[in-house]
């Protein structure tokens, strides 16, 4: 089984970057939007959203590029590689969303 190199371009990395980038834009605003029931609060902190995007996109690329090919080889399917990339991209988004939730509640 071949291990993917760091930063290698593959389907998992692409999926991780897409999920990390899009999710990173909204990760900080999810908690205030849910708690106050106003969708406009998703965009209430644009500078933090930009910083979140700048963090989530490369981390999603990296994690998706590592997890995706491993799942793709395990299940022998390109769909599994994309699924692994999506899961890798969700990790930084989830961590930043949980941090945003913590900041709203405390």
Can you give the pLDDT of all 106 residues of the chain as single tens digits?
567 777 788 999 999 999 999 999 999 999 999 999 999 999 999 999 999 999 999 999 999 999 999 999 999 999 999 999 999 999 999 999 999 999 999 9
Q: 0.85 cut: is pTM over it?
A: yes
Residue 4 lies in a domain: no
Residue 33 lies in a domain: yes
* 50-72 per-residue burial string, b: 16 or more CB within 10 A, e: under 16: eebbebbbbbbbbbbbbbbbbbb
- How many structural domains comprise the chain? 1
Residue 64 lies in a domain: yes
Other C-beta atoms lying within 10 Å of the C-beta of residue 20: 32
Rg, C-alpha atoms of the chain: 15
- Per-residue model confidence (pLDDT) at position 98: 97
Residue 38 lies in a domain: yes
Other C-beta atoms lying within 10 Å of the C-beta of residue 4: 19
- Per-residue model confidence (pLDDT) at position 76: 93
Residue 6 lies in a domain: no
What residue numbers bound the domain in which 54 lies? 11-105
Residue 73 lies in a domain: yes
Residue 58 lies in a domain: yes
Residues in the chain: 106
Over 48-81, what HEC string results?
Answer: HHHHHHHHHHHHHHHHHHHHHHHHHHHHCCHHHH
Residue 2 lies in a domain: no
């Amino acid at each position: 089984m071949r291990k993917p190199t760091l930063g290698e371009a593959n389907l998992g990395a692409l999926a991780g970057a897409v999920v990390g980038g899009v999710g990173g834009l909204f990760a900080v605003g999810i908690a205030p939007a849910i708690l106050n029931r106003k969708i406009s609060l998703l965009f209430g902190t644009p500078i933090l959203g930009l910083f979140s995007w700048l963090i989530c996109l490369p981390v999603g690329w990296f994690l998706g590029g590592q997890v995706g090919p491993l799942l793709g080889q395990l299940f022998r399917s390109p769909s599994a590689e994309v699924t692994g990339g999506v899961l890798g991209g969700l990790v930084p988004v989830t961590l930043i969303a949980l941090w945003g939730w913590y900041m709203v509640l405390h």
